[in-house]
Structure 1
Amino acid sequence: MFRKLPGDEARNLVTTTPDTAVVFRPAVVTTPAIITLVIWLARLIRGLVRFIWRHPVVVFLLAGSVACLHLYGWRATLALLGVALLASLSWAFSDRASFLGYVGWPLLAFGRWFWIYRRTWQPVMTISGLGRHVRGRDYSPRLVRVDCDGWADRLTVRMLNGQSVKDWTDRIDGLAHGFGSLSCRVSVASAGHLVLTFPRRDPLAAPLPAVPVPLVPTVGPVEIGSQEDGTPLRLKVHGTHLLVAGATGAGKGSFIWGTIRGLLAAILAGLVQVYALDPKRMELSYGREIFGRRYAATPEKCADLLDEAVSLMQERADRFAGRQRSHTPTTADPFVLVVVDEVAFLTAYQSDKGLRHRITAALATLTTQGRAVGVGVLAALQDPRKEVMNIRNLFPDKIALRLDESEQVDMVLGDGARDRGALADHISPIPELGAGVGYVRLETSPDPVRVRAAYVSDEDIRDMVQIVTGAGEAL
């Protein structure tokens, strides 16, 4: 009447007492001890090889100390360690960069891995919901390696099968506080692998002085500040369009004047022309002598200046058609940069409907057709909502300074930017701490980069004006 079923198969089970609970025993396969031992030894060897590969400095120090202690005793070992310490100090003072690269940062990475991340990895993964408990077994993402530099720890992590990047970006706050950091940023390293960045300090906390005016004319990426990792912040202006969004006092002027300052040598050489639209009459008017007749403050003159730029663009397009597909700046065909300080005043808050449509159409034409013929647009605004700036998606490169709401971050930088760590709504409103600090998202990379533009003071702008007017008088 009953039939035996293998394993935990319970379907088609027949019983004469339906109310009685069915109890069955799963099939158990006994693994030979030799197989278990071989698997254990293979895992041990793999773990040792992985440890030696990831922490060679620590392994060398430990192995050398143990060998010296065994061969020569503790006195000789202490003496050798003292000599090694003095040699390391001499190396650090003579060539700090190479010492940190080969010794300092690997030792710090081992210490952080051993004391912080390895020790708390399982609890943080479980509590944050990134670990799983399935049928009595715990599954956690694997910590592959830890790398350190002067300002942050970078953890390479292998995700669980079936996890997505969004599973991690939704939990950046829990990860940051779980590992004792103020923030966490997530980026994709390869298929199934992520890089988690945990800053240890803020290298952009102090204002930066203005970058010196370049001596060699260039329209290539211009240096205007610093990135979080200490490398210079260089903005590409030729061959792209740039949108800068930030609340009042966030430091939009630093990006505008930093860009003009980086192009000043090219302006003097005739390789760059700047069309300045200053509807607030405050920011760009301070150095209007740099722009000459290509400066406009009233909405009517701004529209006329934009129409002039559109006419120049269309004339170049007619000449370049069938002859060349990209623009090389020359004195005959210089790179034209259209700078709009407060674009929302011209596109959204302009009371004259006809003038508003005229300006919006000109900006849309420039941002859709100007790149190939050497016409770029640098626009700044405070409110990034679509009803205020409906052509923001026509700007390939975007910068988000301090913003009032978290939703505005994705409006400026694109969907998912805040989840990847672009916390522009958390930037300090104190000028000394947050002015000029922002997140850059370039057309070539989806990951936002935290940067700070150097502060171009009024005195720096006056010096720039003097350089331009002095060069004009010399000519």
Structure 2
Amino acid sequence: MLGNSSAGASQVQRPTAPVPAQAVRFTTPVVETPGIFILTGWLWRFLRLLVLLPVQFPVSVATVAVSVTVYVLTGWLGLAALWTITDIALLVWWRRWPHSFKARVALRALATWRRFWIYRRHWQPVLVVSGLAESYLERQYLPQIRGVTCSAWADRVRVKLVAGTAPAEFEQRVSELAHGFGAPSCRVEVRGPRDLVLEFPRRDMLAEQIDALPVPDDPQDVDLGALPVGRCEDGQPWNLRLHGTHVLTVGVTGAGKGSVLWSTIRAMVPAIDAGAAQVWAIDPKRMELSYGRNLFARYADAADEAVSLLEDAVGAMQERAERYAGRKRVHVPNTRDPFVVVVLDEVAFLTAYHPEREIRRRAENAIATLTSQGRSVGFCVLAALQDPRKEVLNLRNLFPDKIALRLDEASQVDMVLGDGARDRGGNAHLIDPDLPGVAFVKLEGSPAPVRVRAAFVTDADIDHMAESYAASRAEDSV
């Protein structure tokens, strides 16, 4: 008995382990949707499809309706005859008027196919993975495809945004959208409130080298505000404005800065020949611009000569401004007051890399004066640069128009094209090194950078221009 009592006492005194507190779990009650509501939803979608289908796809619906009607009235023989006649008519249309057939039939059929097979099929997964789908009260909301149109080179997908979202969210995800839909790139165009267009190129229109563009025959055909220098990504001409602005071209070695400079000069040759325009060239490398010395009113390669040329340009600009003061506000190119383009290759040599501080100071002062005061009196600076950092050229904001060729770093894109340019698709740092002359620019009226390519002007083209101009000047002197 004693043994049992002691054993019981020891059992009572044994400490017990604490029981951990259980976390409170909240569960959302699951309520089954009545079947009548599900059937009503399906019926509503079906009726909505029947109403909207003829509006969205009138040609397809009309084709099916006519085919069914002919089959009911005449049977298989009548339907076969109808389609045979239709095929012959389409064939004649295609052979006789190919451009009209392509615009009204082929591209529309392609747009319908790509709308369903490419965009509608992948729309939800691409937008969800890229972070463009919105959620509210455990329900997912997606931007809606309002339509797809096709051009010769790209698809344009019109999108209705979810209320409360902004186009900037799409602009920041152009890379994800391009890869998601298998396109080389993506560009966002804002049409209005909650209305934007996504442009997806189907092929690269700039993959092949562009030969030097033809020189206009008549000086009257030269528009100094829209000089043809290459091609845009959509196949349209790339026209560079010089009159009334200044242009800064930035790109690494081999990116194609020479193509931009020489294509611009080539487009001006008739005006140069007529005396309505002049080119003052500075070539510190003595390699890029030296081929065309006969085309230039002034040429310098040594640093001291280059600075003197810049200061002479400032003097000529100020003399012209003094004559214009109180008399005229708009410069019109003519032989007395020609449009002067100061072409400055490797501008960093004069502003940052030259060992003499006085040379750098004088060059910066002259360039700043020209770019801040020269536009209204017919003076333009067309400069080329490799490194866009402030410590190399702290005057880049004085150039209203900038061209971003292939760059070294992603951060340099915004330095050249402005804040947010890379988010809008201006990926100049990703340009293929095998595509010299390809660049991103901002065209007037469009905040999104546009991909372009400058024509390639060969040494033979430059020699021919210089010789023809020299012969023309010799004939005029006689």
TM-score, normalization: structure 1? 0.88
- Return closer, same or farther for 1:449/1:25 CA change in 2, 3 Å cut-off: closer
Within 5 A, what are the aligned runs for 1:298-337? Answer: 298-337=302-341
Partner of 1:277: 282
For 1:220, the equivalent position in structure 2 comes to 225
- Match status 1:450 vs 2:455: no
Unmatched 5+ stretches in structure 2 = 1-22
CA contact (8 A) 1:211 1:225 kept: yes
Q: 1:256 aligns with which of 248, 255, 261?
A: 261
Shift of 1:25: 9.2
Aligned to 2:17: none
Q: Aligned residues, how many? A: 449
Match of 2:117 among 112, 115, 138: 115
CA spacing shift, 1:367–1:177, aligned 2, 3 Å: same
CA contact (8 A) 1:396 1:442 kept: no
8 Å Cα contact 1:57-1:106 kept in structure 2: no
Kept after mapping to 2: 8 A contact 1:398/1:442: no
Question: Match for 2:98: what amino acid?
Answer: R
In 2, distance between residues paired with 1:367 and 1:454? 26
Which moves more between the two structures, 455-464 or 379-388?
379-388
Residue 23 of structure 1 and its aligned partner are, at CA, apart by: 9.8
Whether 2:166 is the aligned partner of 1:164: answer: yes
Distance 1:108 1:23, change over 3 A: closer
Does the aligned pair in 2 maintain the 1:58–1:107 contact within 8 Å?
no
The one of 370, 384, 387 aligned to 2:388: 384
Cα distance 1:286–1:23, how it changes in 2: closer, same or farther (>3 A)?
closer
RMSD (CA atoms): 2.6
Give me the whole-angstrom Cα distance separating, in 1, the residues matched to 2:467 and 2:56: 56
Change (3 A) 1:48 1:222: farther
- Which residue identity lines up with residue 473 of structure 1 in the other structure? A
Cα deviation, 1:364-396, whole Å, max 9, x if unaligned, reads 111111111111111111111121121111111
Contact (CA 8 Å) 1:69, 1:76: kept in 2 or not?
yes
In structure 1, how many angstroms separate the alpha carbons of the residues matched to 2:50 and 2:354?
A: 69
* Counterpart Cα distance in 2 of 1:409 and 1:67: 60
1:241 aligns to 2:242 (yes or no): no
Q: Is the 8 Å Cα contact of residues 57 and 107 (structure 1) preserved in structure 2?
A: no
1:285–1:163 Cα change, 3 Å: same
CA distance, structure 1, for counterparts of residue 108 and residue 269 of structure 2: 42
SS of the equivalent of 2:245 reads coil
- Aligned residue for 1:244, secondary structure, equals strand
8 A contact 2:230–2:453 mirrored in 1: yes
CA offsets per residue over residues 161-182 of structure 1, 9 Å max, x none? Answer: 2222332223222222221223
SS in 2 for 1:88: helix
> Aligned residues: percent identity?
51
Q: Give deviations 1:393-419, integer Å, cap 9, x for gaps.
A: 111111111111111111111111111
Matched residues in 1 for 2:467 and 2:122: separation? 59
Matched, 1:288 2:293: yes
What per-residue deviation string (whole Å, max 9, x for no partner) do you get for residues 134-159 of structure 1?
22311111111111111111111122
The one-letter code sitting in structure 2 at the alignment partner of 1:379 is: A
Q: What is the deviation of 1:341? A: 1.1
CA distances 1:189-218 after superposition (whole Å, capped 9, x unpaired) = 212222211111111111011101111212
What TM-score comes out, normalization by structure 2 length?
0.88
Task: Find the aligned partners of 1:474 and 1:416 in 2 and give their Cα distance.
Answer: 53
Which of these two proteins has the greater Rg computed from alpha carbons? 2
Quote the residue 1:349 is aligned against. 353
The alignment partner of 1:337 has SS state of strand
Per-residue Cα deviation, 1:87-130 (whole angstroms, up to 9, x for no partner): 22222232222212111111111000011111121122222211
User: Which residue does the alignment assign to 2:199?
Assistant: 197
Take 1:287 and 1:305, find their aligned partners in 2: how far apart are those partners? 17
Structure 2 residue 413 is the aligned partner of structure 1 residue 412: no
Distance 2:102 2:444 in 1: 33
Matches within 5 A, 1:52-91: 52-91=54-93
SS in structure 1 at match of 2:254: coil
Q: For residue 443 of structure 1, report the CA deviation from its aligned partner.
A: 5.0
Structure 1's 444 and 394: CA in aligned 2 closer, same or farther, altered over 3 A? farther
Residue 230 of structure 1 pairs with residue 254 of structure 2? no
Q: Which residue of 2 aligns with 1:3?
A: none
